[in-house]
């Protein structure tokens, strides 16, 4: 449970960093910011800056050779170009004329680092909790003759498992942004 609680506290820190500057928790956020930076610097990878991925430019000769009628299929030179080939396939090219990497502020970079640490610790803790619940059920079957008896400890372990499974599901399958999935991770602390 320690890794789950650590990940949930990091989710709370991500939520605190994503609040607007005029929020009532600004004073609290500013007082714990050095501690949070210390965690991120000690456990995260602060030297790596997220950058926008760009694809290499396709030469115009190659693009022209792939089209049936280049003058009618290319829609915009600076936007996406949609072209068709003689085989019936459609090719879509996105140019990167204005694709400069986005520079993040220090707080945004810190929030992304903390979110990554929270995700990794919750993933590790979820795996440990799963192994603990399954091995406890096997032991209960050997000791008492049934896998699950719905006593309070088992029930709350299942509720915690479901909360953290919901967090991982929103991160991996639904693609929620950092703030929304962090709300579920922080809720797991109170469960």
The pLDDT confidence band at residue 17, using thresholds 50, 70 and 90, is confident
Tell me the per-residue pLDDT of 62-89, one tens digit each, with 9 for 90 and over: 445 444 444 444 444 445 555 555 555 5
55 vs 36: which has the higher pLDDT = 36
Among the listed residues 140, 119, 190, the one whose alpha carbon sits nearest the alpha carbon of residue 160: 190
Q: Alpha-carbon distance 97 to 79, whole Å?
A: 9
pLDDT at residue 24, as a whole number = 74
Distances, alpha carbon 168 to alpha carbons 22, 46, 50, 133, in Å: 31, 24, 22, 18
Among the listed residues 25, 16, 9, 1, the one whose alpha carbon sits nearest the alpha carbon of residue 110: 16
Residue position matching structure tokens 């809720």: 187
Q: Alpha-carbon distance 110 to 117, whole Å?
A: 11
The pTM score is 0.62
Instruction: Give the mean pLDDT of 20-35.
Output: 72
Q: Alpha-carbon distance 74 to 82, whole Å?
A: 6
Q: What percent of the chain has pLDDT over 90?
A: 19
Q: Does the pLDDT value for residue 48 go beyond 60? A: no
């Amino acid at each position: 449970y320690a890794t789950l609680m650590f990940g949930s506290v990091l989710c709370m820190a991500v939520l605190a960093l994503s609040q607007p500057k005029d929020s009532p928790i600004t004073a609290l956020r500013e007082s714990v910011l050095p501690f949070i930076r210390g965690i991120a610097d000690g456990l995260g990878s602060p030297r790596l800056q997220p950058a926008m991925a760009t694809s290499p430019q396709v030469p115009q000769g190659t693009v022209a050779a792939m089209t049936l009628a280049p003058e009618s299929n290319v829609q915009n030179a600076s936007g996406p170009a949609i072209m068709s080939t003689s085989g019936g396939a459609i090719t879509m090219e996105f140019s990167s004329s204005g694709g400069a990497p986005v520079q993040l502020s220090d707080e945004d970079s810190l929030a992304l680092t903390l979110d990554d640490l929270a995700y990794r610790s919750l993933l590790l803790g979820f795996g440990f909790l799963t192994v603990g619940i399954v091995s406890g059920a096997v032991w209960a079957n050997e000791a008492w003759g049934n896998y699950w008896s719905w006593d309070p400890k088992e029930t709350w372990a299942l509720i915690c498992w479901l909360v953290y499974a919901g967090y991982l599901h929103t991160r991996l399958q639904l693609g929620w942004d950092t703030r929304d999935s962090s709300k579920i991770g922080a809720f797991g602390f109170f469960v």
